Chains A and B, each alone.
Chain A
Amino acid sequence: MAGKERAAVLGTGQTHHKAKRQDVSMAGLLREAIDRAMADAQVGWDDIDAVVLGKAPDFFEGVMMPDLFLADAVGAVGKPLLRVHTAGSVGGSTGVVAASLVQAGVYDRVLACAWEKQSESNAMWALSIPIPFNMPVNAGAGGYFAPHVRSYIRRSGAPTHVGAIVAAKDRRNGAKNPYAHLQQADMTVDKVQASQMLWDPIRYDETCPSSDGACAVVIGNEKAAAATDRPAWIHATAMRSEPTTYAGRDQVNPQAGRIAAAALSNQAGITTPLEETDAAEIYVPFSWFEPMWLENLGFMPEGQGWKLTEAGETEIGGQLPINPSGGVLSSNPIGASGMLRFAEAAMQVMGRAGEHQVDGARKALGHAYGGGSQFFAMWVVGADKP
């Protein structure tokens, strides 16, 4: 455990994630998550010492540095306000930065909120604005990742239905999560495999939606945590980055993710991740990232992540439940998705995951990645003090 202070998640909150939250303004979206987090943490506005906001590219909402205009709505006037941006991993990085502020002893309680209101514009447009001299390949978002999925399948020899297993599981899990964008209690492997092939080998039902949403957590030090019920103690945090492309880069099992996971386990005192972790919320926007990240995160040896998935062991009730919340495949407000993973991991060890609770979860992993799989942010939270 880094730092002089222990830090814990005192409470979490999130919005009802939907394609278009036309019932709220941007401030309203954030406040929905923030108000829930503060109620869950049993804190008032005067208890918050600092606010950290995280969001992906500003072009999505068409506002430059929106933390500035949101200062009033998030109760930050007269307080420190920081805006983190590390592409898709930002929700996770925001959590790591907020945790650092408490671990460093700078503040007692920090409010962190990550969000995206993609319906202000169009995610596809914002991610593919034509740049002079750059040839647009017109492959779409999935077109960037799908070739690497093919590489994984080739490398590992995984049977081709593994992706569908992940998708069906995550959508069914989402149906147990009242906040999830997609609620598909009846999803099956057959249905996924019958859905339209979008970027071979990725099918429609194996891809994430575009969502409006926000997620907030209140993080406090030991003294603050003593005043709440069942905080989620932050055992470790890690962030690593590498270039999007470089000669010889492993796109399937990126080194930055591996190193971050190793540093994380080391900090958390975990030597056998598969045995010692009770649940993991990991960033899976396209189904096959589940087996890929199982390997990258050190849960399974290289080339074998798919075996855990295929055996059904990543279901709730299995050896390592992955994304009991439904994950990114069920809700994807890009800027918030990383923090949703972090918050859902905390909810598990706080016993507050309701219908998607993993029984007896005492240690959980939250994980996020961003860009071209090059920013990684993750944390381990536990019911016990580290």
Chain B
Amino acid sequence: MRDVAVVGFAQSPQVRETTGTTNGVEMLVPIFAEVLSGLGLTKGDIGFWCSGSSDYLAGRAFSFISAIDAIGPVPPINESHVEADGAWALFEAWVKIQTGEVDTALVYGFGKSSAGNLRRTLALQLDPYVLAPLYPDSLAVAGLQARLGIESGAWSEREMAEVAVRSRRDAETNPNAQVAGSKDVDELLAQPYVANPLRRHDCAPVTDGASVIVLAAEERAHELVERPAWITGIAHAIDSAHLGARDLTTSPSTVIATQRAGGIDGVEVAELYTPFTHQELILRRDLGLGADVRITPSGGALAGNPMFAGGLIRIGEAARQIHSGNASRTLAHATGGPALQQNLVCVMEGRD
């Protein structure tokens, strides 16, 4: 396998609502400029482009076609697109570099959740014959999952609130975060439910945003940055869509992806994409992440959840820990689909 590293990362501010279009161009143009100029690159230096987004979020077919205007793809580019979070686009780009066809790739994800009713739109991800016609929204599905764990003793509402407290506190030092602040657990537990047993703080906010990552191989990565975040393993897997047939209090596909990505040995920081507090508890337990691992220091999705960019941001934030010298081994996780159905894990390291 070729050595491939994350060398650049940029994101738009995570806000409740942007005035831009659903094709993401307004969010993408500035961050493309930021990430490329930060590396001293121009668009001609990028070998492969890959994006993640959803037509349904945009309410338009082919929304990603308008998005490529932000690249200025003339002369034509080597480019692809997945209808999934940008983390899966990063996987496709990593594979492309592995084939040897290219040495660099730029990956982006974007979503304007504010354009529609996100929790309702996500009901359309469910089985179209027997579930989606009832429009079970994303908070309902997460609520069902949360209660299963509360009543089996796997986690408690207090532990869920503790996740939220930590996330908001961490977000205070994240200039891009949308929701930050200092509350204590009891303050949060005194709030009403929004989808019993979920309270507002248990759920990611609705966010518009975009993110971009540049990957480079081997010598090219060394030329571009001092401390590349080398991808030592990246893998993904998916669980059954039958929500009533699988144990929603565990995440087997995350365990599989983590094993295939090389496991958690030596991981100092784990950026987990968990839009609901109880989901972080699931992953920490399933992966065996102990007290020695710093969990989602960016504040995570609970502090800002730009759909289809959020997973890519976890990879970027975990890479940043290495770029800055804060850590030498980090893990990033991305998720898609209802109740942690599909999961991707990327493990990175810094070398001295």
Contact = CB atoms under 8 A, between A and B. Distances in A.
Interface string B48-86: 010000111000111011001100011111111111100
16 contacts: A62-B124, A65-B337, A67-B83, A71-B238, A72-B241, A78-B252, A79-B237, A97-B92, A100-B99, A238-B78, A241-B79, A242-B75, A246-B74, A259-B76, A371-B65, A375-B79
B91 A65 contact: no
A326 interface: no
Given A71-B240, A259-B75, 20 more contacts: A59-B55, A59-B56, A63-B124, A65-B336, A68-B125, A69-B125, A69-B126, A71-B342, A76-B238, A78-B238, A78-B252, A78-B256, A97-B95, A104-B95, A239-B80, A240-B76, A240-B77, A241-B49, A241-B78, A246-B74
A79 B253 CA distance: 8
Interface in A1-30: 2-4, 25-26
Interface residues of A, number: 62
Contacts of A131: 60
Contacts of A76: 238
B98 A104 contact: yes
B125 A65 contact: yes
Contact of B241 (A71, A105, A375): A71
A245 B236 CA distance: 36
B81 A84 contact: yes
B125 A64 contact: yes
Interface in B281-309: none
A164 to B, nearest CB: 31
Contacts of A96: 80
A19 to B, nearest CB: 20
B95 A106 contact: yes
Contacts of B84: 65, 82-83
Contacts of A242: 73-77
Contact of B91 (A57, A82, A93, A238): A82
Contacts of B325: none
Given A64-B122, A68-B341, A105-B98, A241 B77 contact: yes
A127 interface: yes
Contacts of B56: 58-59, 64-65
Interface string A49-93: 000000101110111111111111000111111111111000001
Interface of B: 1, 49, 54-56, 60-62, 64-65, 68-69, 73-84, 88, 91-92, 95-96, 98-101, 121-122, 124-129, 132, 235-242, 252-253, 256, 336-338, 341-342
Contact of B99 (A2, A58, A61): A2
Question: When A and B form their complex, which 4 residue pairs have the shortest distance between CB atoms, in order from nearest?
Answer: A104-B98, A57-B61, A256-B76, A3-B99
B130 to A, nearest CB: 10
Given A100-B96, A240-B77, A129 B61 contact: yes
Contact of B55 (A58, A69, A246, A259): A58
A107 to B, nearest CB: 10
A57 to B, nearest CB: 4
A97 B80 contact: yes
Contacts of A57: 55, 61-62
- The B interface, classified by DSSP as helix, strand, loop or mixed, is mixed
Contacts of B92: 82, 84, 97, 100
Contacts of B240: 71-72, 77
B73 A241 contact: yes
A239 B241 contact: no
B8 to A, nearest CB: 21
B98 A3 contact: yes
B87 to A, nearest CB: 11
A83 B77 CA distance: 20
A58 B124 CA distance: 10
Contact of A243 (B74, B81, B95, B128): B74
Contacts of A66: 128
B32 to A, nearest CB: 15
Interface string A236-255: 00111111101000000001
A149 interface: no
Contact of B78 (A78, A239, A371): A239
Nearest to A267: B101
Interface in A79-135: 79-87, 93, 96-97, 100-101, 103-106, 126-127, 129, 131
A118 B52 CA distance: 24
A374 interface: yes
Given A58-B55, A78-B237, A64 B121 contact: yes
B80 A126 contact: no
B123 to A, nearest CB: 9
Given A3-B100, A82-B82, A241 B238 contact: no
